[in-house]
Structure 1
Amino acid sequence: MSPIDTLAIVGEVVSWIGLGIGIPLLVIAGMIALAEGRWKGADIAVVERADGTILRWFAGGDFHERALSAGEHVGDGWHRGFVSVRDPSHARLDPPVLRKLFTTLGIVFTALGAVGFILSMIPAFI
Structure 2
Amino acid sequence: MQMLDTLALVGEVLSWVGLGLGLPMLLIGVLIRTIEGPWLPAEIAIIERDGALLARWFAGGDFHERPLSRQESATAEAGWADGVVSANNPSHARVGEPPHARRVVLTLGIVFAGVGFAGLVVSLLPLLWS
Normalising by structure 1, we get a TM-score of 0.91
Runs of 4+ in 1 over 3 A off after TM superposition: none
Shift of 1:8: 0.7
Q: Report the equivalent of 1:106.
A: 109
Normalising by structure 2, we get a TM-score of 0.88
| CA distance in 1 between partners of 2:38 and 2:112 (Å) | 24
| SS of match in other structure, 2:33 | helix
For 1:120, the aligned partner's letter is S
Q: Report the equivalent of 1:20.
A: 20
Q: Deviations over 1:18-58 (max 9, x none)?
A: 00000111111122223322221111121122252110112
For 1:43, the aligned partner's letter is E
| SS of match in other structure, 2:89 | coil
Q: Report the equivalent of 2:118.
A: 115
Whether 1:47 aligns to 2:50 is: no
| CA distance in 2 between partners of 1:112 and 1:78 (Å) | 44
Which ranges in structure 1 are unaligned for 5 or more consecutive residues? Answer: none
| SS of match in other structure, 1:71 | helix
| CA distance in 2 between partners of 1:101 and 1:124 (Å) | 36
Across the aligned residues of Structure 1 and Structure 2, the Cα RMSD in angstroms comes to 1.5
Which ranges in structure 2 are unaligned for 5 or more consecutive residues? Answer: none
For 2:119, the aligned partner's letter is G
| CA distance in 2 between partners of 1:21 and 1:106 (Å) | 7
| CA distance in 1 between partners of 2:13 and 2:23 (Å) | 16
Matched positions, count: 126
| SS of match in other structure, 2:109 | helix
Identical aligned residues as a percent: 51
